[in-house]
């Protein structure tokens, strides 16, 4: 079984956001997959995907503080600022975290840990809707 879907995530403010449920809502075919892999590819250079803690919202706020300290906005010497002062720092953060994930599927569900969820890192002040190309490969029920 091969299935590919383009999922549009609704616009979110700058920060880290759990999007596991939003992604799964766009993939009803996953329930028919007995065993397989789900590959997620974020089609943007100023946002990111990562896996981390899905229970305590403080983790997501701490992620935002950490990455803002690691890649400060307004640092001298950046040449690329075509879309504003958050432009190049957003690209740096996107490259550090990455734009893709491969997730295991077992019995029609994501086989991730109890406390794990998919984060969208929105690194722009006004990034807009984000598109994720989801490719499901596996054996049906």
CATH number at residue 107: 2.60.120.460
pLDDT at 141: 62
Question: What CA–CA distance (Å, rounded) separates 14 from 124?
Answer: 6
Residue with tokens 């879907």: 5
* Better-scored residue on pLDDT, 94 or 83: 94
What's the whole-model pTM score? Answer: 0.95
Alpha-carbon 23 to chain mean position: 10
CB 51 within 8 A of CB 116: yes
Question: What CA–CA distance (Å, rounded) separates 56 from 35?
Answer: 29
Lowest model confidence (mean pLDDT) among 9-13, 31-35, 78-82 = 78-82
pLDDT at 78: 83
pLDDT at 130: 98
CB 73 within 8 A of CB 89: yes
Structure confidence by residue, pLDDT tens digits, 19-33: 999 999 999 999 999
pLDDT at 67: 97
> Residue 124 sits in which domain range?
2-140
Domain count, the chain: 1
81 pLDDT exceeds 90? Answer: no
For the beta sheet containing 15-18, the strands, ordered from the edge strand earlier in sequence to the opposite edge, are 15-18, 116-122, 47-53
Alpha-carbon 123 to chain mean position: 11
């Amino acid at each position: 079984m091969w299935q590919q879907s383009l999922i549009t995530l609704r616009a979110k403010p700058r920060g880290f956001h759990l999007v596991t449920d939003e992604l799964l809502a766009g993939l009803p075919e996953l329930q028919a997959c007995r065993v397989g892999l789900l590959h997620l590819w974020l089609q943007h250079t100023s946002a990111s995907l990562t896996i981390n803690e899905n229970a305590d919202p403080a983790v997501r706020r701490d992620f935002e503080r950490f990455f803002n300290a690691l890649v400060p906005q307004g640092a001298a010497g950046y040449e690329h600022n075509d879309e504003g002062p958050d432009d190049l720092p957003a690209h740096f953060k996107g490259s550090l975290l990455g734009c893709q994930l491969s997730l295991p599927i077992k019995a029609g569900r994501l086989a991730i840990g109890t406390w794990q969820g998919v984060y969208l890192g929105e690194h722009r002040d006004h990034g807009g809707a984000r598109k994720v190309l989801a490719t499901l490969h596996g054996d049906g029920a």
